[in-house]
Chain A
Amino acid sequence: MAPPPSGPTQEDTASSAAASESPAPAAPAIKAPPPETPTAIRRRSYIVLSFWLLVVFLGLPFWWKTTTIYRADLPLDRMLEWADGKACRPAIPIQIAVHADSLQEEEANHLVRLAQHAIDDLNDFSGHHLRLQLAPRQDRPRESEQNPNSALSIHLKPGDATTAALDPYRAALDITYPLNSVPPLHSASSMLTTYIATELRSTFAEEQSIVSYLLSSSPTSKPAGLSPAVVEALEKRATRALRYAPTYHLTFSLFTDGPAPTTWDIDTAINEYMKPLLDVLGPIHNFTIDTQVQLYATPGVQSQTLTKDDLASFINAAEWPLSPSIGGAPTINFLTFIGNQTIGFPDSEGQTSQSWMIPQWGTVYLLSQPDTNSHVTKDALRQPMLTFGGHLLTLLGTPQSGSLPLRLSSLSRIRSADLLLRASDALGSLARLSRSLPSIAIPRNVADGVAKSIRHLEEACAGLGSSEALYHARIAEEEAERAFFEKSMVGQLYFPDEHKIAVYLPLLGPVTVPLVMGAIKEIKRLLQARKQRAQEAKDKKSQ
């Protein structure tokens, strides 16, 4: 039997609260417990309080710190702005230099101004402007056109009739005009300016429709007035073209059904027929090349005349070693198949073809050659190589119309707009992902990548149409993709709540029940004590 708490109890007995509310003698066998001393009560409060302090100020922060997932701060609003197209209104200004050395300065200025008006009147799409500019007069005009910012230069020359011709080797439009068609200084319009405007518009029509198609596929901008046929053609172009990459790997393969031929003059053929094209493409893409010869390669289709359905299964993917290059650059395959198969068109009898393009993959060329020939000469490779060259441009997404330099410069503008949109899209996806999955970890480098991507996007957007835009857009896209596909974000993606409960409940249940019960009891007691004190004070007052 434990003795009742002794010590300081004696002095307070008279005034203690316990004494005043002596328990009703319900069970006479049990003695009333000795009254608790205020120190004991206070000590108990301290104990309960200190436990709670420990839990709240040490336990909870510790638990929070050890189980929390690191989420770097992402500029979510900014990212969504980019994705919604609010951060940047893509507008591609195209500088066109006008060389009119045969005209007087004032006349020329007036002509340019009028032509600009005519162009602005024709243009109904804001994302793509043509800006005319009078080139500084020079004695040697050939050198002045090196201005890197002008996409096209117009050479106005007096002639017999109004004609226009695109220079096949340079980005230049030669326009001849009869002398009398030059607008007088105060006239509001003239035949010549309208002619220049329509000519320019038709030159850039394809680029403009591609850009407006690109922008319309992003959510905010309304689709410009494009006819369904044009849209279909643009879609075709988009599905054929490979995704942009700074470097492409070209694989030239010679496949044959049997044991021959075993050698080919591929090195000289590439140098002669392919290299010039690749050199021209140099500023936009780099290329690496490899070649291979494969014997005993049975095609997936054996029939003599290949129908359209056969073309899809002609490539025997299981057996032919066409693995992509491992360097990270996308691979474009150019395949020469030695065999006498032909491609038949069901609607046009008798007409055959030799090659077909596989979208985003490459080209197959059927080359027929006598079986005994064990060597493919350079001349035999001429036609395949030229076909490959043409298809390469399509696979890269080059516009179809216009002269080659013009097509390439518009390719670079289209690519930068495309990359810009892709990067914005990736940023938007990342922002949405991060919002919708609160438990996903976001490492530091993702935030860095996003910041870098946004910075380059801004620069690309500001300089759209210039040559740096492509560079900035490329980096922005790379960084955005890298941030989105960050490996460590995927690992802990799914950690179900059931597991957390299974781990926490056995520990937290038994620990929290006494803690909470103790706290409730203590609070009850405190409330009661306060009430009592108030009562006592009232009593005292009323006395």
Chain B
Amino acid sequence: MRFPLSISSLLASSLLLSPASASSGYHEQLNLRPLPLSNLLASFNFRSNTSLADFESQNFRLFPRSLGQILQYAGTRELHLRFTLGRWDAENWGARPWDGTREGGTGVELWAWLDAETDEEADAKWLTLTNALSGLFCASLNFIDETRTIRPVVSFQAEGDHPNTTLANAKLLHGVLPHEVVCTENLTPFLKLLPCKGKAGIGSLLDGHKLFDASFQSMAIDVRPVCPSGGECLLEVEQTIDMVLDISRSKRPRDNLIPRPIQGHELVCDTSKSYHSDSVCFPVDHLQSQEWTLEQVFGKSIKGACPLTEPGVPPVCVEVPHSRSIFASEGSTEIKSQDSASRCYDVASEGDFNLVLTQLDASSGDKELVEPEQPLLYADRSFTGYGQEHGGVQAILTNPGDEEVEFVYMESLPWFMRVYLHTLSTRISAASSIPTTSAETSAEIIKEIYYRPALDRERGTQLELLLRIPPKSTVFLTYDFEKSILRYTEYPPDANRGFDVAAAVITTLSPRKMNIRTTSLLLYLPTPDFSMPYNVIIFTSTAIALSFGGLYNILVRQIVGADEGFESPVKSKLKRFLAVITRRLTG
């Protein structure tokens, strides 16, 4: 199943609708979910498709032509492209949207199945693909060279419906650019791919100012063939944007962006605190529900429905308890779901659409938002150690649930981080007070290792580990590495900033499939003084010149006694001069 039972029943229910109506062409949906601490998750999902026959004959209608051409030219069977910025705060926000399958590590991540008989052919096509996508999305994807490309073995599975023969001939390549800063110039081409271009429908809410101001944002493009049972095969492109907005920051007016301290009389204080008085205040406004409207949060309202969408799929859904009242613009219809946790809105084709979520009366005791679901795993990764020569990596993987979790932990490390695989070790500790047998060795936690060592300047390390974590326990995965010294020209202009190490990708296999990515790391390598080459030239030249001059002179000169030989002309002149002066002075 492509979309396993999701965070919310709503997502699942709306997605379950999709296979039946997949042929009608275009589908878009915005899902709004308030998160704790006055955050708001907005998940935009756009899906358009074309029949494979139309794709082959290059008749593009809803499928973007620019992307379609690239796919054909590079022989791509399935493509996944991610632009991500920020960090998903799993502790507060719970499980990730789409089970983490629609997000990437910080920066840009790309993986694709390419039609190729040999690895060389796959490399050539990969080069074409990255270069073309780099031009299309204004991103530095062309810097994904062989040192940043790996061929994952167990972490990624094709999502589309491929005939067995084509998948056998397809090669999976995966590349990451953790250093890439995702920005407006990536959003503009992203919007251009949409049939309604961000001029109508939910796409009209997307605006670079708000999107890149978010605490976490992820843009995803997935292209895959879909074969509905008994129907013609389709090529589907799915574009997803997830963003977590800080509501109070987003509500700041455009003309007054500088945050200013709240006036004393506007402060909302926690009166239950013992120290609360007129002069002491414990502010609770960030804990309290706020009133907000779509227009306030996104800076604009939805400009009518996109006319291409199939009827029956409401374009806007909000996940809040039914007890919270929401006002929508005229002409829209509200559809409440059965489970009292979400409602959807059909948007009129003309006119602006806006939503107003009212402030909840704190005294009523009603729930303000749907509790976030607990994720399967929490993952954290950091550097350990000190100094410029050696370092270590520690990944802390916590299973908060009651079920054993089996997953693949994948790292794609740069070649200048030389991993000592023999130092790979795991340590388990029970998170709670439940006594566990801590005798579990790493052999029992790590089931399988797939390791492809790095070659200097040719390829990076690929490390895939199959792990199993018992319920309610934490695994510490550590390994050491050595920092290598780069060549002079291999340092980037901002060498002292450090080098980004791509996020680790965690794919859980059981009890259900989901993805988690850690944050990326900043590796500090020994950095030379960049005026060094000239200093070296001068220094060695001087040394050579000195030794050469000395040697040459010793070989060539005639050696005589100190009292022998001619007096040097300078010395004799100087003597004469001194003699004249002394005579003048004395005489």
User: A residues within 8 Å of B by Cβ?
Assistant: 1-5, 23, 26-27, 29-34, 36, 40, 44, 47-48, 51, 251, 259-260, 262-263, 266-267, 288-297, 319, 321, 323, 325-327, 502-503, 506-507, 509-511, 514-515, 518
- Cβ A321 vs Cβ B544 within 8 A: no
- Cβ B542 vs Cβ A323 within 8 A: no
Contacts A/B (CB < 8 Å), 24 sampled? A4-B564, A26-B567, A32-B565, A33-B561, A34-B560, A47-B555, A259-B200, A259-B308, A288-B58, A290-B68, A291-B59, A293-B61, A296-B197, A296-B199, A321-B65, A323-B66, A326-B69, A326-B73, A502-B534, A507-B545, A510-B541, A510-B544, A510-B548, A511-B548
Which of B195, B540, B545, B559 has most chain A Cβ within 10 Å? B545
Q: What separation, in Å, do the CA atoms of A514 and B64 have in the docked complex?
A: 74
Q: What separation, in Å, do the CA atoms of A259 and B304 have in the docked complex?
A: 11
- Cβ A292 vs Cβ B559 within 8 A: no
Q: What separation, in Å, do the CA atoms of A30 and B545 have in the docked complex?
A: 33
Q: Does B439 sit within 8 A of A, measured CB to CB?
A: no
Of the candidates A33, A506, A509, A515, which one forms a contact with B537 in the assembled complex, judged by CB atoms under 8 Å apart?
Answer: A506
- Cβ B308 vs Cβ A290 within 8 A: no
- Cβ A33 vs Cβ B564 within 8 A: yes
Measured between beta carbons, the chain A residues less than 8 angstroms from B62 are 293
Q: Does B1 sit within 8 A of A, measured CB to CB?
A: no
Q: What separation, in Å, do the CA atoms of A32 and B565 have in the docked complex?
A: 5
With A292-B65, A319-B192 as contacts: A267 and B57 at CB distance below 8 Å: yes
Q: Does B502 sit within 8 A of A, measured CB to CB?
A: no
- Cβ A290 vs Cβ B65 within 8 A: yes
- Cβ B65 vs Cβ A295 within 8 A: no
Measured between beta carbons, the chain B residues less than 8 angstroms from A4 are 560-561, 564
Measured between beta carbons, the chain A residues less than 8 angstroms from B560 are 2, 4, 33-34
Q: What separation, in Å, do the CA atoms of A326 and B71 have in the docked complex?
A: 11
Q: From residue 44 to 84 of chain B, which have CB atoms closer than 8 A to chain A?
A: 57-62, 64-66, 68-70, 73
Measured between beta carbons, the chain A residues less than 8 angstroms from B59 are 266-267, 290-291
Q: Does B132 sit within 8 A of A, measured CB to CB?
A: yes
Q: Does B283 sit within 8 A of A, measured CB to CB?
A: no
Q: What separation, in Å, do the CA atoms of A260 and B306 have in the docked complex?
A: 11
Q: Residue on B with the closest CB to A509?
A: B545
- Cβ A291 vs Cβ B58 within 8 A: yes
Measured between beta carbons, the chain B residues less than 8 angstroms from A31 are 561, 563-564
Q: Does B562 sit within 8 A of A, measured CB to CB?
A: yes
Q: What is the CB-to-nearest-CB distance from A272 to chain B, in angstroms, rounded to a whole number?
A: 15
Q: What is the CB-to-nearest-CB distance from A530 to chain B, in angstroms, rounded to a whole number?
A: 20
Q: What separation, in Å, do the CA atoms of A48 and B59 have in the docked complex?
A: 82
Q: Residue on A with the closest CB to B68?
A: A290
Q: What separation, in Å, do the CA atoms of A289 and B54 have in the docked complex?
A: 12
Q: Does B556 sit within 8 A of A, measured CB to CB?
A: yes
Q: From residue 546 to 587 of chain B, which have CB atoms closer than 8 A to chain A?
A: 546, 548-549, 552-553, 555-556, 558-567, 572
Q: Residue on B with the closest CB to A296?
A: B199
Q: What separation, in Å, do the CA atoms of A510 and B543 have in the docked complex?
A: 10
Q: Does B449 sit within 8 A of A, measured CB to CB?
A: no
Number of interface residues of B (CB under 8 A): 50
Measured between beta carbons, the chain A residues less than 8 angstroms from B199 are 296
Which 7 A-B pairs have CB atoms at the shortest separation, nearest pair first? A510-B545, A290-B58, A506-B541, A507-B541, A259-B307, A296-B199, A292-B65
- Cβ A30 vs Cβ B558 within 8 A: no
Measured between beta carbons, the chain B residues less than 8 angstroms from A294 are 197
Q: What separation, in Å, do the CA atoms of A514 and B572 have in the docked complex?
A: 24
Q: What is the CB-to-nearest-CB distance from A273 to chain B, in angstroms, rounded to a whole number?
A: 16
Q: Does B538 sit within 8 A of A, measured CB to CB?
A: yes
Measured between beta carbons, the chain B residues less than 8 angstroms from A29 are 563
Measured between beta carbons, the chain A residues less than 8 angstroms from B57 are 267
Which of A251, A292, A297, A502 has most chain B Cβ within 10 Å? A292
Measured between beta carbons, the chain B residues less than 8 angstroms from A267 are 57, 59
- Cβ B61 vs Cβ A262 within 8 A: yes
Q: What is the CB-to-nearest-CB distance from A4 to chain B, in angstroms, rounded to a whole number?
A: 6
Which of A32, A33, A326 has most chain B Cβ within 10 Å? A326
Q: What separation, in Å, do the CA atoms of A359 and B45 have in the docked complex?
A: 40
Q: Does B136 sit within 8 A of A, measured CB to CB?
A: yes
With A48-B556, A51-B552, A510-B545 as contacts: A1 and B562 at CB distance below 8 Å: yes
Measured between beta carbons, the chain A residues less than 8 angstroms from B566 are 23, 30, 33
- Cβ B549 vs Cβ A2 within 8 A: no
Measured between beta carbons, the chain B residues less than 8 angstroms from A26 are 567, 572
Q: Does B11 sit within 8 A of A, measured CB to CB?
A: no
- Cβ B200 vs Cβ A511 within 8 A: no
- Cβ B61 vs Cβ A33 within 8 A: no
- Cβ A507 vs Cβ B556 within 8 A: no
Q: What separation, in Å, do the CA atoms of A33 and B136 have in the docked complex?
A: 85
Of the candidates B136, B200, B556, B567, which one forms a contact with A296 in the assembled complex, judged by CB atoms under 8 Å apart?
Answer: B200
- Cβ A260 vs Cβ B561 within 8 A: no
Q: Does B196 sit within 8 A of A, measured CB to CB?
A: yes
Of the candidates B69, B192, B197, which one forms a contact with A325 in the assembled complex, judged by CB atoms under 8 Å apart?
Answer: B69
Measured between beta carbons, the chain B residues less than 8 angstroms from A23 are 566
Q: Residue on A with the closest CB to B545?
A: A510
Q: What separation, in Å, do the CA atoms of A79 and B384 have in the docked complex?
A: 64
Q: What is the CB-to-nearest-CB distance from A451 to chain B, in angstroms, rounded to a whole number?
A: 28
Given contact pairs A3-B561, A30-B565, A506-B538, a sample of 20 additional A-B residue pairs in the complex whose CB atoms are under 8 Å apart: A2-B560, A33-B561, A36-B558, A44-B556, A290-B59, A290-B68, A290-B69, A291-B60, A293-B60, A296-B199, A321-B66, A321-B192, A327-B73, A502-B534, A507-B537, A507-B540, A509-B545, A510-B544, A514-B549, A515-B552
Q: What is the CB-to-nearest-CB distance from A26 to chain B, in angstroms, rounded to a whole number?
A: 8
Measured between beta carbons, the chain B residues less than 8 angstroms from A321 are 64-66, 192
Interface bits B514-531 vs A (CB < 8 Å: 1, else 0): 000000000000000000
- Cβ A510 vs Cβ B549 within 8 A: yes
Measured between beta carbons, the chain A residues less than 8 angstroms from B307 are 259-260, 262
Interface bits B213-234 vs A (CB < 8 Å: 1, else 0): 0000000000000000000000
Q: What separation, in Å, do the CA atoms of A44 and B564 have in the docked complex?
A: 20
Q: Residue on B with the closest CB to A374?
A: B307
Measured between beta carbons, the chain B residues less than 8 angstroms from A44 are 555-556, 558
Measured between beta carbons, the chain B residues less than 8 angstroms from A502 are 534, 537
Q: What separation, in Å, do the CA atoms of A525 and B64 have in the docked complex?
A: 87
Measured between beta carbons, the chain A residues less than 8 angstroms from B60 are 290-293
Q: Residue on B with the closest CB to A43?
A: B555
Of the candidates A290, A291, A296, A325, which one forms a contact with B196 in the assembled complex, judged by CB atoms under 8 Å apart?
Answer: A296
With A293-B61, A296-B197 as contacts: A27 and B553 at CB distance below 8 Å: no
Q: What is the CB-to-nearest-CB distance from A221 to chain B, in angstroms, rounded to a whole number?
A: 42
- Cβ A514 vs Cβ B552 within 8 A: yes
- Cβ A33 vs Cβ B65 within 8 A: no
Q: Residue on B with the closest CB to A513?
A: B549
Q: Residue on B with the closest CB to A290?
A: B58
Q: What separation, in Å, do the CA atoms of A29 and B565 have in the docked complex?
A: 11
Q: What separation, in Å, do the CA atoms of A502 and B541 have in the docked complex?
A: 11
Of the candidates A27, A32, A33, A260, which one forms a contact with B558 in the assembled complex, judged by CB atoms under 8 Å apart?
Answer: A33
Q: What is the CB-to-nearest-CB distance from A371 to chain B, in angstroms, rounded to a whole number?
A: 12
Measured between beta carbons, the chain A residues less than 8 angstroms from B558 are 33, 36, 40, 44
Q: What is the CB-to-nearest-CB distance from B65 to chain A, in angstroms, rounded to a whole number?
A: 4
Q: What separation, in Å, do the CA atoms of A323 and B189 have in the docked complex?
A: 11
- Cβ B58 vs Cβ A326 within 8 A: no
Measured between beta carbons, the chain A residues less than 8 angstroms from B537 are 502-503, 506-507
Q: Residue on B with the closest CB to A318?
A: B188
Q: Residue on B with the closest CB to A267?
A: B59
Measured between beta carbons, the chain A residues less than 8 angstroms from B552 are 51, 514-515, 518
- Cβ B61 vs Cβ A27 within 8 A: no
Measured between beta carbons, the chain A residues less than 8 angstroms from B68 are 290
Q: What separation, in Å, do the CA atoms of A31 and B561 have in the docked complex?
A: 9
Q: What separation, in Å, do the CA atoms of A47 and B552 have in the docked complex?
A: 9
Q: What is the CB-to-nearest-CB distance from B85 to chain A, in angstroms, rounded to a whole number?
A: 24
With A291-B58, A511-B548 as contacts: A326 and B132 at CB distance below 8 Å: yes
Q: What separation, in Å, do the CA atoms of A263 and B59 have in the docked complex?
A: 11
Q: Residue on A with the closest CB to B550?
A: A514
Q: What separation, in Å, do the CA atoms of A150 and B75 have in the docked complex?
A: 44
Q: What separation, in Å, do the CA atoms of A515 and B73 have in the docked complex?
A: 64
Q: What separation, in Å, do the CA atoms of A477 and B350 have in the docked complex?
A: 56
